[in-house]
Structure 1
Amino acid sequence: MEELHRVCKNFTRHDKKTRTILLCEMLEYTNVFLEAAFRAEGYSFETLKNPVKDRTLALRYISNDYCYPTVLILAQFLEYLESGERDPEEIAFMEPQAGGACRAGNIYNLLQRVLYRMAEQGQTEYAQIPVISLNLMGEEKHTGFRITPGLLSGGIAAGCYGDLIMCLYQQVKPYEQNPGETDRIRSQVEKKLCESIRRHRNGRHTREKNYRYACEVFSKVPVKPGKKKRVGITGEIYMKYSKLGNDDIESFLLRQGMEPYSGGFVNYCLYLVDTERYKAEKYQHNPIMVKACAFVLHRLCEAQKHLLTVIGETDRFQTDLPFPELKEKVQGILAEGCNTGDGWLIAAEVIQYVEKGCGSVLILHPFGCLVSHVCERGILQRLHARFPDVSIQTIEYDYDQSKTLRESRILLAIS
């Protein structure tokens, strides 16, 4: 059995040619572009799209003390295995790791343990499935997978394109005259942008050309006059961006006649890099790491600046604040050192939403996430004091929670 456990930990060069990498469903608007970026580097790559019918499936192998994202991500992987869609020898699993105090960073190891336990119970073929960690810190290396400059360039383009589509879609979909037209335009634009990534055309000028194309196409969608109530969505990263995790809260708000607004994923990536820079400077006293993080921050901020500038040229669409301006918003609310989990970023996004016209803000967090409970609930008093006329509420998600009860609470929070 020890040999089985060791095999399951390595993704080889041969595996790159014979296996399809499967990533958990996490980034609703970015996944399609990430798939294009990985395929451009020669990987067979897909995002899991199977709906999880049994959200307690993972509890056969793990304790119910684990947080909701862990339970849900493992359940999605396990349901895919049980479906028999592909032979275990044809697949590999990938799990992102952001590091920090979040227990979800252990899902990589936990998934390996689950496959090992399944092998012990007689399903030995599952122990042959490699599990890859997607991280920028060089942890859990595999001989057949590494983050190359080409993959990094494609990943940056994917993040920017995901934020672009989310920004345009959320501001057009609630007002479309012809139902379904915004979704058709979104699909059309995604295909064009994915093709650009697959052809390794990820330079600044190409990206800006694609930004303008997307803005132009979305601007031509016929819309109804008027202004609907805008509702901001923030919170723990998985709950905020995963349609599976938040039960597709965006579609729920659209059905209620609201305009949903979510902050971009690029700001989250910048927050992670900035957090590593802060730790290297204040605690580790590592000047090399500080310079490396500062360099990455500068490049990402430049990429974000180009995106926001092009969208802003239209005079039709609102954009997120650039990362440096967003960070300034938390002064007087939280210190820069509060960067455990999603830390000060959530407070900054709440302030941004209010200033962008949101009358209600929903902070989504999963049951079992101690970081979310401390950081997200801890900021409410000061935010309520600063914005007494805005409804700012936390919404908790759990695998055995009534969906009807949760939706009733959401309606109460935005009413």
Structure 2
Amino acid sequence: MAELVYTKQGRLLFTEEMKQEYTLLMPQMLPVHFVMLKHIFELHGYKIDMLTTNHRGIVDEGLKYVHNDTCYPALLVIGQLIDAVKSGKYDPHKLGLLITQTGGGCRASNYIHLLRKALHRAGYDYIPVVSVNLSGLEKNPGFSLNFKKIRQMAYSMIYGDLIVLMANQCRPYEIIEGETDRRIEKWVKRLTDEFKGKGSFKSAHIRENFNLIVDDFASIPLNRVPKVRVGIVGEIYIKYAPLGNNNLEEFLRSEDCEPVVPGLTDFIIFKCDNRVEDHKLYGGKLATYVGAGFLERYIKRLQADMIAAVRRYPEFRAPCTFDHLKKLAGEYLGYGNKMGEGWLLTGEMLELIDSGINNIVCTQPFGCLPNHVVGKGMIRKIKDNLPQANIVTIDYDPGATQINQENRIKLMLANAKMAERGLRHNLKRSTDAPQSKDVVSADN
């Protein structure tokens, strides 16, 4: 049994001995990306269990231990972890909990303290909580993020974006049910297995993988009947996590729609770009400016390669570059606006509309005021400039019922389908109209 070791401040550490004995529970946000993340941690000797539970009891556990004024994502993440600890599936004396810390202005940096408080109230003080952060906020002898792990994690996020991008454009149209999911499983396993090798990070190999992934999904037999495409934007956890948005993507597919979800790559670049813009606006350490700029340019090159791989198939929608998205957002917000999802959220709505996806669900969690400002607060301005925009904001909180959320989305979809019928009718009238004949002058 691992000895419990504490810091001078009384924080329980996750030790090397615990790494050998303990199972770390990890909340899920992006289903595909986080499966790869789980495998990466396992490659480095950790025992990881990713939580995919999704039921009302999680919200109730969160409400029991987290103040209801706290943002909804915090309540869900903590509720899911406590629910798992209490489930009886694990030995609580051999458990650790993984949770991220951003280190920015978001209250997510304080989730870890709320989680420890919840564990104390529930009688689980002996369970260590491990911070996953790149800011040096908390350190543990048995858990660290070295360059190799960080690089593997970054590539898993970019690969995950491409897989999800292709899957979302295949799954609603697949002829053989489940074929898209089988391709996802195949590539998740293949890519995580590749991380064991030394050559998996070479640029040529990454470009080759991008092309192979796109080729594989493009080979899925599809029946491309017209469907309404619906973009999903909002606070990062609620936008991506099925637990947070009540299985929004699945609901949209059940309504005969194609969900379009912006990838995580733009968010990663956005976080780097914030450091660069901060230096321009406020000054600061030159090393931070140079380092963030280098990382931003590197990820942009990867993004460009990913986009190029998709563009080889005109029938698939490729995302725009980060620079284009930033330019669109710059017409509405300053680049110093970075709290919540900052100008990125507004930019994602504009990019979707710019690419012909006018129907958007903007997911807004309770307790994230900056997210409401750059999301709901920008919609009127967007609609004034782009009247074709069909945007609905959906609030997610412990008291919101799924049926009310879905009914509001259905109203938006009704408007979308009406608009598309009108567009097809006008197009048919224009093609059916008699063509004018050229009149040749008698003088000729």
Asked whether the two chains share a fold, i.e. TM above 0.5, the reply is yes
**SS at structure 2 position matched to 1:335:** coil
Counterpart of 2:278 in 1: which secondary structure? helix
Q: Report the secondary structure of 1:56's partner residue.
A: helix
Counterpart CA distance in 1 for 2:8 and 2:259 is: 44
Q: Distance in 2 between matches of 1:283 and 1:354?
A: 33
Post-superposition CA distance 1:132-168 (Å, at most 9, x none):
1111111112222221111011112101111011110
Give the structure 2 partner of residue 91 of structure 1: 95
SS in structure 1 opposite 2:56? coil
Q: Is the 8 A contact 1:157 1:207 kept in 2?
A: no
Q: Which residue of 2 aligns with 1:69?
A: 73
- Separation in 1, partners of 2:319, 2:364: 21
SS for the counterpart of 1:294 is helix
Q: Which residue number corresponds to residue 175 of structure 2?
A: 177
Distance, in Å, in 1 between the alignment partners of 2:172 and 2:154 is 28
| Aligned-partner Cα distance in 2 for 1:210–1:370 | 40
CA distance in 2, matches of 1:241, 1:275: 22
Structure 2 CA distance for partners of 1:322 and 1:312, relative to 1, 3 Å: same
Distance 1:3 1:287 in 2: 36
Partner residue of 1:161? 159
Match of 2:323 in 1: 324
**Residue 246, structure 1, aligned to residue 249, structure 2:** no
**Higher mean displacement: 204-213 or 376-385:** 204-213
Residues 293/130 of structure 1: CA separation in 2 closer, same or farther (3 Å cut): same
User: 1:339 matched to which residue of 2?
Assistant: 338
- Alignment check: 8 A CA contact 2:32 2:188 kept: no
Q: Identity of aligned pairs, percent?
A: 30
Q: Which amino acid aligns with 1:93?
A: L
- What residue number does 1:107 align with? 111
**2 CA distance for matches of 1:21 and 1:279?**
35
Match of 1:27 in 2: 30
Deviates more, 1:8-17 or 1:67-76: 8-17
- Cα 1:8–1:90 change in 2 (3 A) is farther
Amino acid at match of 2:161: D
Q: What is the CA–CA distance in structure 2 between the aligned matches of 1:194 and 1:181, rounded to whole Å?
A: 20
Greater relative CO, 1 or 2 (CA 8 Å, sep 6+) = 1
Query: Is 1:206 matched up with 2:210?
Result: no
Contact 2:335 2:343 in 1 (8 A): yes
Q: Which residue of 2 aligns with 1:149?
A: 147
> Deviations along 1:86-122, whole A, 9 cap, x unmatched?
1123221111122332222211111111112223xxx
Q: Hey, what does 1:13 align to over in structure 2? A: 16
Query: In the alignment, which residue of structure 1 is the partner of 2:285?
Result: 286
Inter-partner Cα distance in structure 1 for 2:154 and 2:309:
17
Please state whether the residue corresponding to 1:222 is helix, strand or coil: coil
Q: Which moved more, 1:338-347 or 1:89-98?
A: 89-98
Query: Mean Cα displacement is larger for which, 79-88 or 33-42?
Result: 33-42
> Residues 243-392 of structure 1: matches in 2 within 5 Å?
243-392=242-391
Is 2:151 aligned against 1:132?
no
Residue 54 (structure 2) aligns with: 51
CA offsets 1:338-379 (integer angstroms, 9 cap, x no match): 111101001111111112221311110111222222221221
**Residue in 1 that maps onto 2:425:** none
**Distance (whole Å) between structure 2 residues aligned to residue 143 and residue 277 of structure 1:** 32
Question: Which whole-Å deviations, capped at 9, do the CAs of 1:186-208 have from their partners, x for residues lacking one?
Answer: 22222222222244523323322
Cα distance in 2 between the residues matched to 1:19 and 1:241? 28
Cα distance between partner residues in 1 of 2:185 and 2:215: 15
For the 8 Å contact 1:8–1:112, the answer to whether it is kept is no
1:116 aligns with 2:116: no
Contact 2:303–2:321 (CA<8 Å) still a contact in 1?
yes
Q: Equivalent residue of 2:242, what SS?
A: coil
The answer to whether the 8 A contact 2:382-2:389 is kept is no
- 8 Å CA contact 1:89, 1:129 repeated in 2: yes
Q: Please, which runs of 5 or more residues in structure 2 have no aligned partner?
A: 415-444
Task: Point out the more displaced range, 163-172 or 373-382.
Answer: 373-382
Structure 1 residue 319, shift from structure 2 partner: 1.7
Q: 1:174 to 1:319 in 2, by over 3 A?
A: same
> What's the secondary structure of 2:291's corresponding residue?
helix
Shift of 1:8: 5.3
User: How far off is 1:78 after superposition?
Assistant: 0.9
State the partner residue of 1:122: none
Q: Is the 8 A contact 1:4 1:116 kept in 2?
A: no
CA displacement, residues 211-242 of structure 1 (integer Å, 9 cap, x when unaligned): 22221221111111333111110000001111
Which shifted more, 138-147 or 273-282?
273-282
d(CA) in 2 for partners of 1:198, 1:88? 31
Counting matched residue pairs gives: 409
Contact 2:6 2:13 in 1 (8 A): no
Runs of 4+ residues deviating >4 angstroms? 2-8
| Deviating more after overlay: 163-172 vs 12-21 | 12-21
Q: Which amino acid aligns with 1:145?
A: F
Task: Name 2:226's counterpart in structure 1.
Answer: 227
- CA–CA separation in structure 2 for the residues paired with 1:182 and 1:229: 19
Q: CA deviation at 1:42?
A: 2.4
Q: Is this contact kept in 2: 1:39–1:198, CA < 8 A?
A: no
Structure 1: segments with no counterpart, 5+ residues: 120-125
Deviation at 1:313, TM superposition (A): 2.3
TM-score (norm 1): 0.93
RMSD (Å) for aligned C-alpha atoms: 2.1
Evaluate the alpha carbon distance shift between residue 51 and residue 214 of structure 1 in structure 2; reply closer, same or farther with a 3 A threshold: same
